[in-house]
Chains A and B, each alone.
Chain A
């Protein structure tokens, strides 16, 4: 006898179905991987504007005395450095510096919001709850929070007249609360694409209204619906991490090239001792980006070789629609991490020539800095 658990759905499921989206299981949610085509959707975000349903992600609220210190012990980046209305990106590490998840921390006037990967929601909540001191309140708001991303050079134009004017002036990784398309929520100048754009958090009960209003507002600007497939090619072109591929429990932020998120001076946090040691002893391996000469595409799990010797593994790989060539990332021995180092990728019986390249692969994105 077997039982199947029904996939969870976001408030936008019917819109995806009506748009003819290909729906797949992603972290237990029925999500649109593609609407019209991976390449078309990817280029729509780079050249115009796209709308993403990313409601599957998790949102936790943290409040109470000691909340800031609590979060600062959990993550590597410095929460104390945040102004109200500012967010940061950070890994959250175990004591051995392996990464539990990568996440965003938003500082509101009277609480914090932590935004986590859908695939790690249960794990993250359990970890955070385990380390929560008395007095700090941790609540999971994911089930009632809708999250949409509007990304692309025309994102501001789409939101104009539908969000407070101040929201359009937000700097990168700044946010404000206010009315978005007629409903209360948070407007954040963040994203996972490398383009200018916003992420909109609001009550799930307003889903239909907000979706329809965004689609209508976007029509004159060529707004397209964007699936998780294009979301992945967009982020990979920027060299952004995907948990489970490029980072996981066995990788440290320094190995992954996330040293800029590690603030050793801020005080103690999970993994700090190991990170200090890694920094002083040097890293055995590093995550690098690489480009391929041919048209065969590197894929997660393929071996990386140098002069016939296995030196690492591909963590993420795709065909880059913007660069029109295959790209990928993977861990290699530190001695081979320099830009220009030749590598070979084992694709079945074939050996694909590649070269270490700088990240981001795509450098013409419109995102604020």
Chain B
């Protein structure tokens, strides 16, 4: 499976995309494949401060629940309202319309420390 090369990844199966001064965050297709049908995503409010590596929300799937871990520290500037009404967007388009939050990063250096798509693919392969 090829993972998009225009984003970076965490060990907990989040992806992060840096555009302008904002980092968009979601979960990967590997995560949605493991989780199954997503039924609810609990996300923080705009303005909340996130800390890299700490939980900032929860993804509820029919069969299991998973914490969301912040790839970078910063302030939440936007939350995807569409997945409130239609959580299936996360399964249908995990790297696109299923995005979760946008963060204004506090530390510009953190993004570069995240995994490349190749490293992420290796990580996923090893766990099989």
Contact = CB atoms under 8 A, between A and B. Distances in A.
Interface stretch (B18-26, B58-66, B101-109, B112-120): B58-66
Number of contact residues on B: which range applies? 10 to 19
Interface in B89-127: 91
Interface stretch (A32-40, A58-66, A212-220, A354-362): A32-40
B36 interface: yes
B86 to A, nearest CB: 13
Contacts of B36: 34, 37-38, 229
B12 interface: no
A299 B40 contact: no
Interface string A33-49: 11001111010000000
Number of contact residues on A: which range applies? 20 to 34
Contacts of B42: 295-296
Contacts, number: 45
B51 interface: no
B65 to A, nearest CB: 6
Nearest to A42: B62
A133 B19 CA distance: 75
A295 B59 CA distance: 11
A229 B63 contact: yes
B70 interface: no
Interface string A317-342: 01101000000000000000000000
Contacts of B33: 22
B37 A297 contact: no
B39 interface: yes
Interface string B30-49: 00010011011010000000
Contacts of A297: 39-40, 60, 65
Given A22-B33, A38-B37, A229-B36, A296 B62 contact: no
A151 interface: no
Contacts of A22: 33
A72 interface: no
A318 B63 contact: yes
Select the residue from A40, A232, A295 with max chain B CB neighbours within 10 A: A295
A229 B65 contact: no
B58 A296 contact: yes
A77 interface: no
A139 B82 CA distance: 57
A307 to B, nearest CB: 24
Contacts of A296: 40, 42, 58, 60
Nearest to B63: A229
A38 B63 CA distance: 8
Contacts of B61: 38, 319
A233 interface: yes
Select the residue from B36, B39, B64, B91 with max chain A CB neighbours within 10 A: B39
18 contacts: A33-B63, A38-B61, A39-B37, A229-B36, A229-B63, A232-B63, A233-B62, A295-B60, A296-B42, A296-B60, A297-B60, A299-B64, A318-B63, A319-B39, A319-B60, A321-B62, A347-B65, A348-B58
Given A34-B36, A38-B37, A296-B42, 16 more contacts: A22-B33, A33-B63, A37-B36, A38-B36, A39-B39, A39-B62, A40-B37, A42-B62, A229-B62, A295-B39, A295-B40, A296-B40, A297-B39, A297-B40, A319-B60, A319-B61
Interface of A: 22, 33-34, 37-40, 42, 229, 232-233, 295-297, 299, 318-319, 321, 347-348
Interface of B: 33, 36-37, 39-40, 42, 58, 60-65, 91
